[in-house]
Amino acid sequence: ENAVVKAERAMEIDRSDNHEVVSVLNNVKNVAKARTRGNELFSSGRYSEASVAYGGGLKLDAFNSVLYCNRAACWFKLGMWEQSVDDCNQALRIQPSYIKAILRRAASYGKLGRWEEAVTDYEVLRKELPGDSEVAESLERAKTALWSKPEETKYLGFNDEVEEVSSLDKFKTVTSLPGISVFYFKSSSNRQSEVISPFVNTLCLRYPLVHFFKVDVEESMALAKAESIKKVPTFKIYKEGEKLKELVCPSHKLLEDSVSHFLL
């Protein structure tokens, strides 16, 4: 946006209808449009289309660190973490102190199990953002994974958010994962779900050896029906396919106590 304003001012100064200035202005405007379109698609969950939109902008401006970082976010959402790392690297070559790109690269390293590199990035972020509790927790989580045995980290998810489950087939698959799995049945229109969601994200960071999943009962009605969900928020705790506990509208303390209990 600032680039568009600067180009327009340059054109106002040069009253001679300079074709070069006009070309630069049009290019800057098209890059801004690509970024805006990509942002709109990303916000609506259309990550693949958003990546194409950002890519279109990069064809016009190959040194746009924001577009690289935004496209990295698309790759992350699509589970394409190598590509996410690559685009974060490109963004950081252009803008070495780009905090958002370091954050996204660190999360992508975690997904790839590249814990040493994740720790390195989170160490940098810890110095740059000393008061950020999520960065501090992510750093400790990455260190835990780095120091653990390979078999202990095989199923150690590194999520900056709770993973979504929308199909019965996927639900059956993930309930059988090794270790403890917590399923959070929610509704985007439910006030209690809205209140407890940030705490669920906190638990996801706090307990790295636990798998956290969320199911929106309005979007996944068949799954909610199959699991006999009558009220939200409802939590179900599984261990390797066996249901251990069900909690309906629990307090923060009861939920955390239940999660920590089954880790003992």
Q: Structural domains in the chain?
A: 2-149 (1.25.40.10), 163-261 (3.40.30.10)
- Binned at pLDDT 50, 70 and 90, residue 23 comes out as low
- Whole-angstrom distance, CA of residue 132 vs CA of residue 151: 30
Task: Say which residue, 128 or 133, is predicted with more confidence.
Answer: 128
Cα distance between the two ends of the chain: 53
Average pLDDT over residues 61-87: 93
- Whole-angstrom distance, CA of residue 213 vs CA of residue 200: 10
Task: Say which residue, 220 or 1, is predicted with more confidence.
Answer: 220
Residue 155 confidence (pLDDT): 47
- By CB atoms closer than 10 A (0-12, 13-18, 19+), residue 255 is buried
Task: Say which residue, 37 or 263, is predicted with more confidence.
Answer: 37
Residue 19 confidence (pLDDT): 64
Phi-psi region of 20 (alpha: psi -120 to 50; beta: other; left: phi over 0): alpha
- Whole-angstrom distance, CA of residue 257 vs CA of residue 188: 25
Average pLDDT over residues 84-100: 97
Average pLDDT over residues 78-88: 92
Task: Say which residue, 117 or 138, is predicted with more confidence.
Answer: 117
Average pLDDT over residues 83-106: 97
- Whole-angstrom distance, CA of residue 22 vs CA of residue 25: 5
Residue 229 confidence (pLDDT): 96
Task: Say which residue, 8 or 44, is predicted with more confidence.
Answer: 44
* Residue 68 tokens, joined: 């690289």
233 prior amide bond cis, ω within 30 = yes
- Whole-angstrom distance, CA of residue 137 vs CA of residue 202: 9
Instruction: Answer for the pair 60, 31: CB distance below 8 angstroms, yes or no.
Output: yes
Reported as type and span, the H/E element at residue 63 is none
- Binned at pLDDT 50, 70 and 90, residue 22 comes out as low
Residue 44 confidence (pLDDT): 87
> Does the pLDDT of residue 159 top 70, yes or no?
no
> Does the pLDDT of residue 150 top 60, yes or no?
no
Which of 41-45, 93-97, 212-216 shows the lowest per-residue confidence on average (mean pLDDT)? Answer: 41-45
- Binned at pLDDT 50, 70 and 90, residue 39 comes out as very high
Nearest 10 degrees: Cα torsion 19, 23, 25, 28: -170
Average pLDDT, the chain: 86
| CA count, 13 A, side-chain hemisphere, 197 | 19
Instruction: Provide the angle, in degrees to the nearest 10, between the axes of the packed helices 252-261 and 191-206.
Output: 40
Average pLDDT over residues 178-192: 91
* Cα of 203 vs its chain's centroid, Å: 16
Which of 117-126, 142-151, 229-238, 240-249 shows the lowest per-residue confidence on average (mean pLDDT)? Answer: 142-151
